[in-house]
């Protein structure tokens, strides 16, 4: 329940900011995408800041917080040695 109330509060705050910027919701696609990018990058500020406070360089903090994989997701050409499908088999799939 706490997460839902927090989400509602953040949504209200974003609505106020949109109103102050004279942007109607739903936002135009480019505005919405830039907003989503801001959310993704903003989520990384706290873990990176913790690493920097602990004495790591910004680049090392970025790597240790695994920000690139969170912000960019799996990029084309990346190979994962342990496929996620093998780790989480489909429970609905019949086995013989």
- 24-49: pLDDT as tens digits: 777 678 877 888 888 888 888 888 89
How far, in Å, CA of 74 to CA of 44, rounded? 17
How far, in Å, CA of 36 to CA of 42, rounded? 10
Amino acid 7: pLDDT:
85
Amino acid 53: pLDDT:
92
Residues of the chain short of pLDDT 70, as ranges, are 27, 74-96
Tokens of 75: 């990029």
0.85 surpassed by pTM: no
């Amino acid at each position: 329940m706490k997460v839902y109330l927090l989400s509602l509060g953040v949504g209200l705050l974003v609505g106020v900011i949109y109103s102050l910027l004279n942007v109607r919701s739903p936002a135009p696609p480019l505005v919405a995408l830039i907003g989503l990018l801001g959310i993704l990058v903003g989520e990384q500020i706290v873990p990176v800041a913790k690493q920097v406070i602990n004495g790591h360089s910004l680049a090392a903090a970025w790597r240790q917080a695994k920000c690139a994989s969170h912000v960019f997701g799996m990029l084309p050409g990346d190979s994962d040695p342990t496929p996620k499908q093998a780790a989480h088999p489909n429970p609905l799939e019949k086995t013989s």
